[in-house]
Amino acid sequence: MGSEDRMPLISAQNVVKDYRDGDTTVHALRGVDLVLEEGEFTALAGPSGSGKTTLLNLVGGLDTPTSGEVRIRGEVISSMHPRQLHGMRLHHIGFVFQAFNLIPVLSAQENVAFTMQLQGIPPEECRRRALEVLDQVGLAAEAGRRPAALSGGQQQRVAVARAIVTRPEIVLADEPTANLDSETGADLLDLMKHLNEEHGITFLFSTHDPMVMDYSRRLVRLHDGHIASEQRT
């Protein structure tokens, strides 16, 4: 099969997403078309309310479009059986949520190991790999601490470690550097770029951070639910 016939990893086709807010309809996305190939390192940028996080959630199967389709490897996400969708998220997608979504009663190491445990990886291997990735994000010394004992920036790094530890096919990251100083943010982006270049992991960010935009090889700007512009570097 020629490269021109290759199925894209992710495609959004004429995606519309509306929300009800009391008596008002909020048009979060207004007919968005986006295609991502394997190995891309792409940022969605735009002001608050532009639709960045909504699009990220649709790509990850955390929400469904009002109309239009989101496909992963040609398969419409909203048509998947819930068990199939859960399996896809568990084995193929890593998430970095803006609110971290760490489990309060688990240590940093246990939080990072949690997805691997769900995948059925042996406990000792889970612990070893979790500690290895925490070391990569500069948190090996905090491995035994629970989220409440960590700063916001440290929790953010635990969330990133959890997303990348399984080396998923796709990492979706909502404002991944929002709580980090510039040096720590750059270190994390360097790590993500290494995973992208050496292991082919596809990254899709939503961001306000100019540094994330600079690191990205493709920048998609959204405004009022539309793609306003796009550039590759």
What pTM was computed for the model? 0.92
Query: What is the predicted pLDDT for the residue at 170?
Result: 96
pLDDT one-digit tens code per residue, 203-231? 999 999 999 999 999 999 999 999 999 99
Reported as a pLDDT band with limits 50, 70 and 90, residue 233 is confident
Average per-residue pLDDT for the chain: 93
pLDDT one-digit tens code per residue, 133-155? 999 999 999 999 999 999 989 99
C-alpha to C-alpha distance for 143 and 33, rounded to whole angstroms: 41
Q: Give the start-to-end residue ranges of the domains of the chain.
A: 3-232
212-222 burial, b if ≥16 CB within 10 A, otherwise e? Answer: bbebbebbbbb
Query: Quick one: fold of 3-232?
Result: Rossmann fold (3.40.50)
CA distances from 179 to 86, 127, 151, 186 (A): 29, 26, 9, 12
Checking if the pLDDT of 37 tops 80, the result is yes
Q: Is the CB of residue 33 less than 8 Å from the CB of residue 12?
A: yes
